[in-house]
Structure 1
């Protein structure tokens, strides 16, 4: 039997957007956000330059009299759409890798804001820097968990008739992964293993799906996905404080 509250879970992302505006939390929202914007701006620039060369090459293959020569603008529209979608889906993975040390500390500050209690005693910049390898390894664990299941769903999507169910399974799986991804930050601060976290989320699975659903949708929207990551971290911390406490009652 599924436990938790789906509608309560839906509210955590909205709470996260409110929390990232708190003065004590803004710095650890802005720093990874600026890094990610710069990174993806450069990526978009170089991809645009590469695609420009590909369009020129393709146009040179066409006869001068061909009406297709006048459709280079269409290639640019298609390019923009494809790149935006690629960035939308890829942004969350890369943003989490880059910002993981900051997001762990953001989760710690958010929990302190919500509970008034210290999570750890070492809050120096040197501690954040030293924590980078461990934080990156935690992200790798999530990717290793995600990839085989994603590949399995991809294979299911290739099977006629069965692939009708694949879209629903993908959506549910992505919602679950978003909850797992972000609740992991406060869980890691409490030295909860990734395996134990999956079990804890399973105890309030409906709440987990409720939280992960809007995060998964927001991550697909360009521009919005720039701010959804820190908001999801804060919302996931609120989830951890309330849902994890609920499972202990």
Structure 2
């Protein structure tokens, strides 16, 4: 597998540093307010669903004393699954609403990192013009996510088997966080969704290293509000740097020296 896990974990830290830069701060405020509204609505809805789901699932279990005595464990496991589902559910809704802003934030971040602007940067007018394309791109990610998430969710409802599934959920969410956010700079370069997936597979360890702290941050209430824009900036740094690492490896350079 290509990439470097520890290098990947550093991109989110860089993203938090970047969102404080004067040229980028104003593109973070509006998405933050939208994220707050999404979080409140999603938390209320999932909390209500969770309180209804657990008693129903426990009612399906065989009437074995030892199994019924473990109901506290099932509450913890199902709670972990719901938290993980909420984490990416929040990301899906927040990014679906804020995708045009995040695409432009990624453009501005790349300009700050490389000193070169993308050809079609056009300010707020360009943001509005890109709304249909940005929404379609978000839908592609949802279509990729949903069948895999539904399969994991169904398996997680099976007692005993659901314990390892919680770890699979976490790994899958880490991968999806990398896919979700690196998509913004990739889309700005007009790369297809298939090209994005191929790029992440070629830097898989870096992708998992980046996605892991993003997934953790997305599960922490209030912190997840600022993780989203920080992840956009961090993913842009990921895109710029990992592309360069791949290019250097392709031509046989290490540390900037030709082999």
TM-score tier after normalising by the smaller chain length: 0.7 to 0.9
Using structure 2 for the length normalisation, give the TM-score: 0.76
1:14 alignment counterpart: 13
Tell me how many residue pairs correspond in the alignment.
Answer: 214
Distance change in 2, residues 1:149/1:87 (3 Å): closer
SS of alignment partner, residue 22 of structure 2: coil
Residue 122 of structure 1, CA deviation: 3.3
Distance change in 2, residues 1:180/1:126 (3 Å): same
CA distance in 1, matches of 2:144, 2:212: 19
Using structure 1 for the length normalisation, give the TM-score: 0.79
Aligned residues of 2:91 and 2:218 also touching (Cα < 8 A): yes
1:106 alignment counterpart: 105
Distance change in 2, residues 1:141/1:121 (3 Å): closer
> Which residues of structure 2 form unaligned runs of 5+?
49-78, 249-259
Aligned residues of 1:87 and 1:222 also touching (Cα < 8 A): no
Aligned residues of 1:88 and 1:222 also touching (Cα < 8 A): no
Aligned residues of 2:9 and 2:209 also touching (Cα < 8 A): yes
CA distance in 2, matches of 1:217, 1:108: 25
SS of alignment partner, residue 234 of structure 1: helix
Aligned residues of 1:13 and 1:231 also touching (Cα < 8 A): yes
CA distance in 1, matches of 2:20, 2:132: 28
CA distance in 1, matches of 2:142, 2:122: 27
Deviations 1:4-35 (A, max 9, x none): 10000000001000000000000111111123
Residue 218 of structure 2 is aligned to residue 205 of structure 1: no
Larger radius of gyration: 1
CA distance in 2, matches of 1:125, 1:191: 19
Residue 118 of structure 2 is aligned to residue 119 of structure 1: yes
Residue 123 of structure 2 is aligned to residue 151 of structure 1: no
1:138 alignment counterpart: 137
Please identify, of 117-126 and 140-149, the stretch whose mean Cα deviation from structure 2 is larger.
117-126
> Which residues of structure 1 form unaligned runs of 5+?
52-80
Instruction: Please list every run of at least 4 consecutive aligned residues from structure 1 whose deviation after the TM superposition is greater than 6 angstroms.
Output: none
CA distance in 2, matches of 1:4, 1:216: 19
Distance change in 2, residues 1:232/1:44 (3 Å): closer
Residue 110 of structure 1, CA deviation: 0.3
Aligned residues of 2:18 and 2:24 also touching (Cα < 8 A): yes
Please identify, of 238-247 and 181-190, the stretch whose mean Cα deviation from structure 2 is larger.
238-247
CA distance in 1, matches of 2:177, 2:121: 28
2:3 alignment counterpart: 4
Q: State how 1:1-249 maps to structure 2 within 5 Å.
A: 2-38=1-37, 40=39, 43=41, 90-159=89-158, 162-249=161-248
Residue 155 of structure 1, CA deviation: 2.8
Distance change in 2, residues 1:133/1:44 (3 Å): closer
CA distance in 2, matches of 1:118, 1:105: 11
Aligned residues of 1:97 and 1:139 also touching (Cα < 8 A): yes
CA distance in 2, matches of 1:179, 1:122: 24
